[in-house]
Structure formats: C-alpha cells, structure tokens
Amino acid sequence: MSLTVDERWDLIDSIAKKTITYGRYKETLKDVIGELTVKPMTGIPIAITTMYAFWSIFGSFAGTLFTDGFFVKLFDEHWLPWMQAHFPGAGGWLYYIIVGDPAADNCFEAFGMLTSGIFVAIGVVLPAIFIFYLMLTLLEDVGYLPRLAVLVDTVLHKIGLHGYAIVPTILALGCNVPGVTATRILETRKERFVMMTLLAIFVPCGAQLGIMEEVVPESMGLIILYLIIGYFITGLVLNKIIPGISPEILMDVPPYQKPLLSNVILKVWVRMKSFFKTAIPFVLLGCVIVNVLYLAGFIQWLGSTFSPVFVTWFGVPEATAGPLVAAFLRKDLAVAQLSVIEMSAYQMVTAVVLVSIYFPCLATFMMLLKEGWKELLGSLAVLISVVFLYGGLLHLIGILAGVA
C-alpha cells in the first residue's frame, strides 16, 4: 500500500500518541546555564569572560608563578653560571653550541643547547603547555566546548566553516599537530583545507604563546589581534576562491556535568606525552642547527641576501633571518631568539607575527604532508602569499602610525 506524505505524517502521529507518554518538564539550573551559554545575547559575554579567565590563568600560572617565580631564578642564577664555569673550552665552537655566549647573564641570551634549549623547553614551555591542556580538558569535560561551537557557528560560516571548527582551532592553541589531526571531523574537503591552512598560518601553539608571554607581554594583545584579523581575512578570501559547500552544523550538545578527576588526569597526560617526545628534542636540535649556521656564516649571508625583503618590505632587522630559520624547527625557539635582537617595540610585534605566520614548524609540516601532498602545496602557496602581503601591510600600518 502506497501512502502520501501527509498520510505518512498522520500515521507517525497516531503511533506516537499510542507509544509516547509526556510528563511535566522540570527545568534545572544546568538547563538554564546551558541555554544562557548558547544564546548570542548572553552567550557572547560568557564566552568573552571564559576566554579572558582562560588567558589570565594561563599567563599567571605559566608566566608569573612558575617561569618568573621559579625557573628563571633556577636557570639564570644557578644552572647557567655552573655551565659557564665547568664546561671546557670557553670561546670555542663546541662551547658556543652547547653553552652559548660565555658573557651572557641569562639563558635567553646564551642560546646554547643545554642553556637556552633546556630553559625554553622546561622553564617556559612545559608550564604553559600543562596549564593550557588542563584548562582545555576541564572546559571539554564540563560540556562548554560544544556550546561554544554552536555560539560561533554563524561567524565561522562566513569563512566557509561551521561552528565545530572551533575545536581544531582551540586544540591548535595547545599544539598545531593535534589541531591539524582534528580537522578530520569536518565534513567536506573544502572545510578541511581551509581549516588546516588557517591553523598552519595564524594559530600560535601553546609553547609559542608561553614564550611570547615571557618575551613581549606588553605587546601580546596587539599580536593576537593581528593574528585574529589575518585569520578571518584569509578565511574570507579562501571561502570565495575555493569551490565547495559548508554544511550546517549538526552535533550533540551534552548537559553540563562534573568532570571526573581520572578522565582529566588521563587526557592531560596523553596530550603532554607528545610534548616530551617531539617538542623537547626539536628545541635542542634547533639550538644546535641555528648555532652551527651562525658559526658557518650562513645566517649572516641569508640576512644580507634578503635584506631588501626584511628591512624594506617587512621593516625588521636583517638579524631576523636567524629566527625565521629556527621557526621551521620550533616557533617557540624562534620567538626566544628574537628577544636578543635589538629592535623597536613595533618591529618586535611585526617580527613575532612574521614568525607566527611563517612556514609551520617541522612537526606540523609533516602532519600537513600526511593529510595529502596537494593540500600541503596549496597551504604553502597560500602561506607564502600571506607572509608577503600581510607582512608588508603590518609595515605600512607602522609607517602610517609613525611607530615603524
């Protein structure tokens, strides 16, 4: 027997009336909070407050409490003087690679593998990564992240994504590698390409954020603002030129719940393990490679060769060639290296933004390649264009504002 559409709906209604019992709904406090966090009128202020609290705890815990309060004193007052006094061959090439500048009075300026390398990895990045993943896990297990995805869905649709793209973005703020991996949850090839490209260019990892908080705390707001603006401008352009559709969001929004301590510990540990396996070795390797390139005169040659680009177009010193080389290994290491280059405050802002939007670090580069060589080549083409156009635009803004 064939039924019309109206007859099918009538049949569904009749079956529902016989099988479903309706009770009286009793609204709970969790329901009220859940509604408040997804409605734009109340949800946006709550999101801004949550992100501000997130950042405040991140800066206070990682930067003020652990890095400045403990590790700076440990490394600068004890570890660095001990290494400078006991490592043999002061002034030699091996000493320069392992310990760094014998006249340095802090680990940032020494730039040796066992001084700056260990200080950056353990003293600055490790506390930043830990507190970031702890807060992210709490927001995830409480049930706030799905509501944030619903809240930003309309905005992200403007750049060819839907609200769930906020999850790879937030993950990438911890490390770009899981951020790129998380793009697989997006439904279309266009969405995945746009998301991977934006992550590789404009989203700094937690390690880099930790170093930025230590090196340029007074300029963090302007740097993040430039990265956010670039994120959305590039997304708008990519959405226009890349064919494909952006489907509507369809996701389960769980009720708010109390996070389980065992789950939180397990998730934080799983996310931290990759830092110990990849980040620390790459930081140490980066110090060695950059120091060898300095000793060989390659960095000086690179700065002189590309001086018109660095000085005239980007408005930064030639010496930023070294950090840009280091950025391919670890961007946090590159930002740390910028701290010992003499430049104005706005030049430092431009240089940090350039390091951020420059080629993704090696681990992220390999993840992009794993997703497909066509996607990698496309992302690199966008990246190169963005670096030159956006870097030149930042210099122009500085000139017009009289601060370049």
Q: 3-state DSSP call for residue 351? A: helix
Beta strands in 222-272 (DSSP E): none
From residue 182, how far is each of 156, 187, 241, 362 by CA, in Å?
Answer: 16, 12, 24, 18
Q: Which tokens sit at 316?
A: 């930064």
Spatial separation of the C-alpha atoms in residues 134 and 151, rounded to whole Å? 23
Taken in order 83, 88, 90, 95, the sign of the CA dihedral is: negative
Cα angle for residues 234, 344, 307 (degrees, 5° grid): 70
**Separation between Cα atoms, residue 390 and residue 230, nearest integer Å:** 8
pTM score, two decimals? 0.78
Tally of CA atoms within 13 A in the half-sphere of 117 that contains its CB: 23
Predicted confidence at residue 250, as pLDDT, reads 67
Q: What is the pLDDT of residue 184?
A: 81
- Rounded to 5 degrees, φ, ψ at 294 are -65, -45
Q: How far is CA 224 from the centre of its chain?
A: 10
- Separation between Cα atoms, residue 97 and residue 115, nearest integer Å: 10
| Pair of tokens at residue 251 | 């996701």
CA atoms of 76 and 353, how far apart (whole Å) = 28
SS3 104: coil
User: What count of other Cβ atoms lies within 10 Å of the Cβ of residue 326?
Assistant: 27
Q: Supply the pLDDT for residue 1.
A: 59
| Residue indicated by tokens 């090839």 | 189
Q: What SS3 state is found at 12?
A: helix
CA 252 vs CA 25, 26, 69: distances in Å: 20, 21, 43
Phi, psi for 100 (deg, rounded to 5): 100, -155
- The per-residue pLDDT for 225 is 93
Query: What are the pLDDT tens digits along the chain (404 aa)?
Result: 577 777 888 888 888 888 877 777 677 778 788 888 888 889 889 988 988 888 788 778 777 788 888 888 999 999 999 999 989 888 788 998 999 888 888 887 788 899 988 888 888 878 888 888 898 899 889 989 888 888 888 888 888 888 888 888 888 887 787 788 788 878 888 888 899 899 988 998 877 888 888 888 888 889 999 999 999 999 999 998 888 777 776 677 788 888 999 999 998 898 888 777 777 787 788 788 888 888 888 878 877 888 888 888 999 988 888 787 777 767 877 888 888 888 899 999 999 999 888 877 766 777 777 777 887 888 889 988 999 999 999 999 999 988 76
In whole angstroms, give the CA distance from residue 333 to residue 322. Answer: 11
Task: Return all residues near 161 (Cβ < 8 A) that are at least 6 apart.
Answer: 186, 191, 194, 195, 235, 246
